[in-house]
Every structure is written in structure tokens, then in C-alpha cells.
Amino acid sequence: MTRIIDISPVVRPGLPVWPGDTAVDFQRTWDMGKGSPVNVSKLTVSTHTGAHADAPLHYQADGADMASVALEPYLGECAVVHCLGEWPVVTRLALTRQIGLVCGENVPERILIRTWRQAPRDTWDSEFTAISPDAIDYLASRGVVLIGVDTPSVDPETSRTMDAHKRVASHDMRILEGLILDEVDEGRYELIALPLKLAGLDASPVRAVLRELAR
């Protein structure tokens, strides 16, 4: 049996969220301890909580919502590449070099980029590494349809122009953010990270996993 690697953070109250965004909150609405025959809970989260998929609606006023996007980009062969020490952005040169080392000329349609040596789980860190717009152009030129990152965004926290997201939009690519890649070696895997079918919404949390490819 091939090994499954969970690359999603635990969603829980206290999970760091983008400054000003909705905090995670759990409330028990029906409680067996209070006489109910079942436990039922209410979950309050941002659409961008933990590991999540951005819908085009997140960065395009007329973009597709989460219920409308095709599922194919979120399921299939991917490559994990390490760009540790790159800051404030992963450049096209750095990404080209690393993808060449990991993939050679056979680049899969999904690329996941590790930038943290250890992703923060208990505190918010504004100094995360973003992805340069020309690096996204490079990925598109190699046929990549999905880019995944272990940070909260492909753009810097202070960005107001959202240049990386706009390049993603121009190439009709998809984005996964908030992954945990600390223990994942560089190489090829099968990605499974399906978003919920949320009508009218701009993103969805995902349970992102990697499955080792059969050798």
C-alpha cells in the first residue's frame, strides 16, 4: 500500500488566520452530555482557513465561484520542490533551477513549493515568502495548472495590487495555500486536495494529502 502524507494543518480554535480575518470557532449546538441523543456542532471559519483553495472569485470580481471550478487541477500527479531560504519572493531563476533538479524536462501539471523550514502553527508570521509574478509565468509556460504553497498567500501580506494572483488569473491556473510541507521530501507524488462545492464563495478549505507513487 502506498503511503499517504497529510499536508493539511489541524483546523482548531487558535489556528493563526490572516490579520483581520475570521477566527476559527467551534460551538456544540446539540450535546449528548446535556441529554441530546447526538452531538452536533457549529463551525465558524473563513473560507481561507488552513489549507485552502482560492477560487477565481477571490481575485477577480467576475471570477468563477468555488462551486463552479473544475476539480481536475486538484487531483493528480504533482512535484514538491524546496525553495528554502528564498525571501522575500521565490524568483523565476530559483524556481526554474529547482524544478529542473527535481523534474528534469518532464514537469507535472501541479507544483507545490516549500519555503518554510518549519511552517508556523501557533502564531502568525507576516514575513512569509511570496511567489514572483514571473515565476508564475514560468510555471504556466511549462504547462502547470495548479501552484501550491506552504504560506498564506502567493502575494506578500502588504500587497494591494495582488500581482501574483493576477498572473494566476491571466493563465487560468488554480492555487492552494496554507499547506504543511515540513516533512515532505522533494519529488513526485499524487495530490488529492478537493475543495468543497461552495456556491457563491471565493475559496474553500481542503484536506490536502499526497500519495506516494507506485514504483
Q: Of 155, 207, 148, 141, which Cα lies nearest the Cα of 176?
A: 148
58 catalytic per annotation: yes
- Strand 130-131, strand 203-205: pairing: unpaired
Selected catalytic residue, list 48, 58, 165, 171: 58
Asked if residues 113 and 83 have their Cβ atoms less than 8 Å apart, the reply is: yes
Phi, psi angle pair for 126, to nearest 5°: -75, -15
Residue with the three cell numbers 529547482: 98
Are 206 and 53 contacting, i.e. CB atoms less than 8 angstroms apart?
yes
Q: How far apart are the first and last CA of the chain?
A: 11
Give the DSSP letter of residue 155.
S
Spatial separation of the C-alpha atoms in residues 175 and 111, rounded to whole Å: 10
Tally of CB atoms within 10 A around 209 = 16
- In the numeric block, which cell numbers belong to residue 115? 519555503
Extract the C-alpha cell encoding 80.
Answer: 514538491
Catalytic residues: 58
